[in-house]
Chains A and B, each alone.
Chain A
């Protein structure tokens, strides 16, 4: 997990925006992904971005990629209690497997 760095925890109030950040030591991935993991459930793909893009918007989700700084962020607008989960941003290890960071646990307070 050293290749992918994330803060472990984030708390926001319902209705606010959440920003979850990832930093990579290796920027070789062609695609970068955001996954959401709710308690007792597997990982669900939220969105992905192609490495030659710097932004992608998908409804309440905005992904920003700063390739120079090897930094990826996920912004969730109007955060809801149902958004409470662990968010992961794995990188693709040269087409072999995903390398995950520790995940960021997002808590949404009412």
Chain B
């Protein structure tokens, strides 16, 4: 069974630009969550999508948005990039979310650098 894939793996952008990251979950998984990881910080939850609907959202500004397609693939968009957005963005898929035994399977991440 293929794991969670994220594209691209590395990205360099400049301030003010926008970026779109993609995540393909494990086949059959309907929940996709996005996390931001910065040096010295734990993973910060961005949002979770389930069956094309945003079900949960973390405390990030509106510049961060996402969507999920009918095949469960998800995209995350960051507009008007700031230097502080430089981070590793991880997505995780699970069958139905973190409730009960909500084991999440993580992708390798997209490392975004904002210059």
Q: Residues of A at under 8 Å CB distance from B?
A: 1, 4, 8, 30-31, 33, 35, 40-45, 48, 88, 90, 92-93, 95-103
Contacts and interface: CB of A to CB of B under 8 A. Distances in A.
Contacts of B33: 97-98
A96 B56 contact: yes
B103 A88 contact: no
Contacts of A41: 108
Interface residues of chain B: helix, strand, loop or mixed (majority): loop
Interface in B99-114: 99-109
A92 B98 contact: yes
A97 B42 contact: no
B4 interface: yes
B70 interface: no
Contacts of A98: 33, 35, 43, 45, 92, 98, 104
B65 interface: no
Nearest to B100: A30
A97 B58 contact: yes
Contacts of A45: 103-105
A98 B58 CA distance: 11
27 contacts: A1-B41, A1-B44, A30-B99, A33-B103, A40-B108, A41-B108, A42-B90, A43-B90, A44-B106, A45-B104, A45-B105, A48-B103, A88-B43, A92-B99, A93-B98, A95-B97, A95-B100, A95-B102, A96-B48, A96-B56, A97-B33, A97-B48, A100-B35, A101-B42, A102-B40, A102-B41, A103-B42
